[in-house]
Every structure is written in C-alpha cells, then in structure tokens.
Amino acid sequence: MRLFSKFLVLLILAVLAWPAGRLGAESPTVVRAEQAAAHDTTAYTLSPEKMRKAVAITRIWNVYAPADTLWTLLQFLLILALGIAARMRDFAVGLSKYRWVQGPAFVFLFLLLSRLLSLPLDMYRHRLGIAYGFSVQHWGSWFGDQAKTFAIAWVLFSLMTMLLFWVMRKSPARWWFWFWIPAVLFGILGVFITPYVIDPLFNKFEPLAKSDPALVQQLEKVVARGGLAVPPERMFLMKASAKVTTLNAYVTGFGASKRVVVWDTTIAKATPDEISFIFGHEMGHYALGHILMGTAWSSLALLPTFWIGYHCFRLLLRRFGGAWGIPSQNDWAALIVFTLVLVALADLSEPVENSFHRMIEHNADIYGQEAMHGIVADPRTVGRQAFQVLGEESLDDPTPHPLVEFWTYTHPPIRTRAGFAVAYDPWAPGEQPKYFAK
C-alpha cells in the first residue's frame, strides 16, 4: 500500500505539472505574440456604455461565483449537522426493504432539497442575464429546463449511487479505486451520448447545410485547408436565439457522435469571415483531439481525487459520524458526506483544471488563425474582429482581476486573445507556423 501511495503522489504531481509544462514548450513565434498580447490594450475595446455594463456585471459575478460555491458547501454541512440527512435516510429505508427503492428515494430527497436551497441564487443569476441582455428565455422555459436537469441528474446520480454502495460493500477499503474504473467509463459514455440524448432536450438542432448551404461551402474550405474529414452532416446549427443573445460555437462528442455546432446568434451577428475564424478554432479542437485529451486528463485526475476523497470521507465519518447520525460508510446518508468532499476537492482543483482548458483553447486559437491563411485576406484582422464581436456580445471585461482569471477563466481573456490574433504572423519572414507547413 505504501508503494501505491507513492505512485498516487507522483500521479498528482504529474497531473498538476502537465498544463504548465505544455504551456511552456512554445515556439519563439508563439512566445513573441503572447508577450505582445499581454501588453496590448487596443486590440479589444468597449464603448463607454458597454464598458460600464461590463465592469458592473463583472463585479456582481466576482461576488456571486464564490458565494454560490460557499453556499453549496454550507448547505451540505447544514443538511448533515441538523440531522436532515439521517431523517431522509430513515424515510427512504422505511419505504421498502429493497435497496433499489431506498437508494433512488434517498437521492431524490437529497437532490430535491439541494435544488430548492440553490434555487434563489440560480433565479437571481437568470434575472441578471435578462437584465443585462444575455438571456431572452422566459421563466416558464427556464423552469422547464430546471425540471429536465433535475430528472436527468436523479436518474444518473441514482445509478452511480447504487454502483458506489455496491462497490463499498464488496471492497470496504479499496472501493475508491474500483469505483474509479466504472466512473471513467460512465464519463466516456456520457461524452459520446450527450449530442444524441442530452443536448436535444434543451435546444433545437438542424443540419447547417439545411439553413445556410453557402456558409457550409465556406466552412468546407477551412476543413480542406486542415486536411480533415468533417463532412457537412457533422456540422449543425443550434437555435440558441430562443434563449440567449450571446455568440458561441463548439465541438462535442467523439467517434460517431463528434460534431461541430454553430449557434444561430453567431451567424446573425458575425460576418462569414469571422464565422470561418470561429469555426477554424472549433476545428482546431477537432484536429488536435482536445475532447479525447480532456477526457483522458479528467479521467487521470479523478483517480487521485477519489483517493484523497476517500481519506477525507473516512476522517469526517470518524470525527462527526456519530453527531450526524451516520454510523458507517454503508449508510445512505454517507452519500452526502462523500458528495461534500468531492465538491470541495473540485472547487480547490478548479485553477488546475482551468489552466488545462486555457491551454487547449489557446492552441485552438493558434490553429484557427493558421487555418485562415489563404482563405481570408487578413487572418490577423479577421481574428481580432471575431474576438471583438464575441467580447461585445458577452460584455467581457477587458481588464479582469488576475486572481479571478487564474481561478475561474476556462478561456484566455478576450483582450489577450484579440491581442494575440493581431500579433501572431507565422507567415512573416523568419517566423514559423505551429500546425501548418509554411
């Protein structure tokens, strides 16, 4: 066991070091552009009115985000300390002698109480989105999405809970490892089926060729430039305008379910060249295998998380289990203790996770800009304009606080992305592209 513990320590260090190591191994061309972008204050700007709104919403968000995180942890502690978890357990056990009734019943009560406790903050967030023009979704539709989310969470969480407690009974001291294996497989399955099953429950999709065949022809030039096989049937339009006003495009799924999705708001507010640049970025995720990379990295990081979580979980049960009315790890109410530990670890690891995501988003920006060479007249200008449109529509603050950026940003700030687009010219004499032959 001591040898295995040393292995896990090395694994944790590798997971923490990987993003930093990948970010530090760039070519001189990329490094020079990054340095120029860090000091560029003109590539992305906002009008005085938009700047006022951007600063205001950023200040609200900087308070809301940590408050939401702390409230989530606090509500779990209150449910435990006030004996609510034990009473929910007693109710679930009293319903039936069958575990397949008890487990889902307890999960339902837990999720319902947690959802009700979180609802005021979630409603406030939606109201902010409406007030600042990000959302046009009416409350009936919003509550409908909340109900769908709850139902999906209940089904999936119940299945994972039953599996967790089965593994606990089979291997009381090593369940954290044996549960990690199906958890990884479950996550991979989730990535695969999400475009087929989950996404259509919340938004409408149609083949992009159906609504905008001319744009598909433009995007096929980008695909040909990358030498990839992204057929039109894997390009989709999402009718985001029914709920939001912001712009986006993304790549999702893998294998047979992998696809590129462009929001209809992006098509409405960006030029064809700008959409091509945004698509080039998403194609970069496709070409560079970022979904597979992200899935592998998350799966790897989950093992030390479960190991640390197991020890924290056992420590909390030994110290507070009696006061909480939870005699052992096999008690249904112990699920809330384990959930508390995992949520806390996820919050603490957020900077590491986000640094990884910023790395792959930056690489996708590089790929997208290089892919535009020979397709648009000036990739640098088109890139800057694309980021300007994206930033304006989302009221992205040009000067985010460094700590907020480090802890919460999953993408580099729009200001530095626009500055990089302006500075990055790998086709100039003496420079070298990262992904495409010169």
Residue by residue, DSSP assigns 237-301 as EE-GGGTB----EEEE--GGG-EEEEEHHHHHHS-HHHHHHHHHHHHHHHHTTHHHHHHHHHHHH
Q: What is the pLDDT of residue 39?
A: 92
Q: Is 8 exposed, middle or buried (0-12, 13-18, 19+ CB in 10 A)?
A: middle
Q: What is the pLDDT of residue 16?
A: 47
pLDDT tens, residue by residue, 33-82: 999 999 999 999 999 999 999 999 999 999 999 999 999 999 999 999 99
- Residues 381 and 24: their CA atoms lie apart, in Å, by 26
Q: Which residues pair with 237 in a beta bridge?
A: 206, 262
CA 359, 389, 36, 409 torsion: positive or negative?
negative
Q: Is 31 exposed, middle or buried (0-12, 13-18, 19+ CB in 10 A)?
A: exposed
Contact 359, 19 (CB under 8 A): yes
Residue 26 has pLDDT above 80, yes or no: no
Two tokens, residue 67: 């408050």
Q: How remote is the C-alpha of 437 from its chain's centroid?
A: 32
Most confidently predicted of 12-26, 98-112, 266-280, 395-409:
98-112
Contact 19, 350 (CB under 8 A): no
Tell me what percent of the residues of the chain surpass a pLDDT of 70.
94
- Residue 25: which pLDDT band, with cuts at 50, 70 and 90? low
Q: What is the pLDDT of residue 256?
A: 86
DSSP structure class, residue 138: -
Helices 414-423 and 28-38 cross at an angle (nearest 10°) of 130
Residue 329's φ and ψ, nearest 5 degrees, are -70, -15
Contact 168, 99 (CB under 8 A): no
Q: What is the pLDDT of residue 295?
A: 87
Secondary structure (3-state) at 405: helix
Residue 20 has pLDDT above 80, yes or no: no
End-to-end C-alpha distance for the chain, whole angstroms: 52
Contact 336, 76 (CB under 8 A): yes
Strands (E), 155-220: 205-207
The stretch 255-268 carries a mean pLDDT of 92
* 33-47+203-291+352-423 topology per CATH: Zincin-like (3.30.2010)
The stretch 418-427 carries a mean pLDDT of 96
- Residues 315 and 334: their CA atoms lie apart, in Å, by 12
Query: Residue with structure tokens 């009315």?
Result: 325
pLDDT tens, residue by residue, 143-171: 999 999 999 999 999 999 999 999 999 99
pTM for the predicted model, two decimal places: 0.89
Two tokens, residue 227: 């030498």
CA separation (Å) from 204 to 63, 260, 338?
33, 14, 36
- Residues 326 and 332: their CA atoms lie apart, in Å, by 8
- Residues 297 and 188: their CA atoms lie apart, in Å, by 12
pLDDT tens, residue by residue, 181-202: 999 999 999 999 999 999 999 9
- Give the domain ranges of the chain: 33-47+203-291+352-423, 69-201+292-345
pLDDT tens, residue by residue, 106-121: 999 999 999 999 999 9
Parallel/antiparallel/unpaired status of strands 235-238 and 259-263: parallel
